[in-house]
A and B are shown apart, each in its own frame.
Chain A
């Protein structure tokens, strides 16, 4: 059943089907049943961290609407997609967020990019980032092609 954004309350990671990790700010999440990888960066990664630490996504969207209505719409859409992809599910508990929303803080500071990509073949992710871990590391110019490695 496809979940509409308006129906979503508190959320949690859909373990064990979903495995996710934070790589220096980028969230890489996978539904092991479907095999589809998701890469979340910028505000999308902040949104993941917020909702998996007890923030209500609807409350975040309401706050974002006060900054920019498009940001609010985008956050609702991303959350609905993550739930429908089996990465997040309604929380079985009632977690209480201890920190202020990172998404709202970054949006208030002027960020506007929700970067979301999905990959059906893990090679696409591996080849895009074969060795180095973080975006902030400069000078890692090696990208693998099908014939080997090129600089």
Chain B
């Protein structure tokens, strides 16, 4: 059993799986899994992704959170699998346990096989921090292997396949960033900054005021002369106080349990019909600041200063593609006007101020 194999397997040097065997295991697993899994197609950043899921329920949940299933015919650019290796018999239990035990060395082994991968490490509470995730850039096939579906980290369903999307988009010269967004017409404001700086609250305030968003957590930005931002996940995350501040006495139609961060996860389309945009031009990079001001104001900020405050959200947070992420983030701060936004305490005043900013091209 995998569980027993995980509990103390020690392979000799000679019997340890090689990079070649890892590549074979990926091929065998995905071939077998594709025949048995529930399949659904989604579109992210103009890429068609076929999801291969272990159950119809998970297929439906992950598809909804990736913007909804699509039915058009066309080429699948990417194939992402979520499953238990034991279900397909590859890799075998001992090899999978070995991969899980490698920690940072798994990335090296994957690299030797022409793949990129990370393996879940255990946090201080012995909870897995990431599933064993592997991506083949030549074929566009990626997997998230878990010993058991119950071992998926609590944030996985909140941001499905984030690492595979990150690597696949980085491979194409794009960048997945941790940022909030607000859109008016075709113009988007990218909200960057550290956790707690007001990104999600500003996004929620904006859509409650009639603006659109392409997301408040992970988004994909292109490196075009006029950068564009694309939706990744269709889910907003906000702490209960923030929800109450914006919605007031209005109750959520479906009260939600708190997620692992103590936040409420809501499908914004259920509450603000039409608020999700697929993509928009990036008109401004904005560093919000909770100022409790009477009025929301904007002031220009040097790209250097915005970069210093927002480096983590723009490129440091996700593993892999770190150098290209650093270069991308610095280039974006030079290419797009950079602003600081001093927030008022009134969500609807904030929404109006953002709309004026986007419609006028500045404050």
Q: Name the residue of chain B whose CB is nearest to the CB of A119.
A: B327
Encoded as 1 (CB less than 8 Å from any B CB) or 0, chain A from 15 to 43 comes to 11101010100101010110101000000
Q: Name the residue of chain B whose CB is nearest to the CB of A126.
A: B324
Asked if A131 and B327 make an inter-chain contact with CB atoms under 8 angstroms apart, the answer reads no
Q: How far is the CA of A127 from the CA of B102 in the complex (A)?
A: 29
Q: How many A-B residue pairs have CB under 8 A?
A: 106
Q: Name the residue of chain A whose CB is nearest to the CB of B333.
A: A32
Kindly provide the distance from the CB of B135 to the nearest chain A CB, expressed in whole angstroms. Answer: 9
Q: How far is the CA of A59 from the CA of B252 in the complex (A)?
A: 68
- A148 interfacial contact with B, CB 8 Å: yes
Instruction: Give chain A's interface secondary structure class.
Output: loop
Asked if B111 and A138 make an inter-chain contact with CB atoms under 8 angstroms apart, the answer reads yes
Kindly provide the distance from the CB of B44 to the nearest chain A CB, expressed in whole angstroms. Answer: 16
- B303 interfacial contact with A, CB 8 Å: yes
CB contacts (< 8 Å) of B320 on chain A: these are: 131-133
Q: Name the residue of chain A whose CB is nearest to the CB of B304.
A: A16
> Which of A16, A33, A142 touches B171 (beta carbons < 8 Å)?
A142
CB contacts (< 8 Å) of B321 on chain A: these are: 130-133
Q: Name the residue of chain B whose CB is nearest to the CB of A33.
A: B304
Are A126 and B173 also in contact (CB < 8 A) when A131-B324, A141-B138, A149-B137 are? yes
Asked if A131 and B171 make an inter-chain contact with CB atoms under 8 angstroms apart, the answer reads yes
Q: How far is the CA of A33 from the CA of B333 in the complex (A)?
A: 11
Asked if A28 and B327 make an inter-chain contact with CB atoms under 8 angstroms apart, the answer reads yes
CB contacts (< 8 Å) of A15 on chain B: these are: 304, 308
Are A131 and B137 also in contact (CB < 8 A) when A37-B327, A126-B223, A138-B112 are? yes
Are A130 and B304 also in contact (CB < 8 A) when A138-B112, A141-B138 are? no
Are A16 and B137 also in contact (CB < 8 A) when A30-B330, A139-B19 are? no
Kindly provide the distance from the CB of B259 to the nearest chain A CB, expressed in whole angstroms. Answer: 29
Q: How far is the CA of A138 from the CA of B18 in the complex (A)?
A: 14
CB contacts (< 8 Å) of B334 on chain A: these are: 32, 35
Asked if A122 and B112 make an inter-chain contact with CB atoms under 8 angstroms apart, the answer reads no
- A100 interfacial contact with B, CB 8 Å: no
Are A16 and B308 also in contact (CB < 8 A) when A137-B108, A142-B137 are? yes
- A106 interfacial contact with B, CB 8 Å: no
- B307 interfacial contact with A, CB 8 Å: yes
- B5 interfacial contact with A, CB 8 Å: no
Q: How far is the CA of A144 from the CA of B138 in the complex (A)?
A: 11
- B116 interfacial contact with A, CB 8 Å: yes
Q: Name the residue of chain A whose CB is nearest to the CB of B307.
A: A19
- B322 interfacial contact with A, CB 8 Å: yes
Most buried by A among B307, B321, B324: B324
CB contacts (< 8 Å) of B108 on chain A: these are: 136-137
Q: How far is the CA of A35 from the CA of B326 in the complex (A)?
A: 13
- B294 interfacial contact with A, CB 8 Å: no
> Which of B167, B304, B324, B326 touches A17 (beta carbons < 8 Å)?
B304
CB contacts (< 8 Å) of A131 on chain B: these are: 116, 137, 167, 170-171, 320-321, 324
Q: How far is the CA of A16 from the CA of B330 in the complex (A)?
A: 12
Kindly provide the distance from the CB of A151 to the nearest chain B CB, expressed in whole angstroms. Answer: 5
- 4 new A-B pairs (CB below 8 Å) besides A23-B323, A123-B173, A127-B173? A21-B326, A28-B326, A32-B334, A140-B114
Interface residues of B (CB under 8 A from A): 19, 107-108, 111-116, 137-138, 167, 170-173, 223, 302-305, 307-308, 320-324, 326-328, 330-331, 333-334
> Can you identify 21 A-B contacts, CB atoms within 8 angstroms?
A16-B302, A16-B304, A16-B305, A30-B327, A32-B333, A37-B327, A123-B223, A129-B323, A129-B324, A130-B170, A131-B167, A131-B320, A133-B321, A137-B112, A138-B111, A138-B112, A139-B19, A139-B114, A139-B115, A140-B114, A149-B137
Interface residues of A (CB under 8 A from B): 15-17, 19, 21, 23, 26, 28, 30, 32-33, 35, 37, 122-123, 125-127, 129-133, 136-142, 144, 148-149, 151
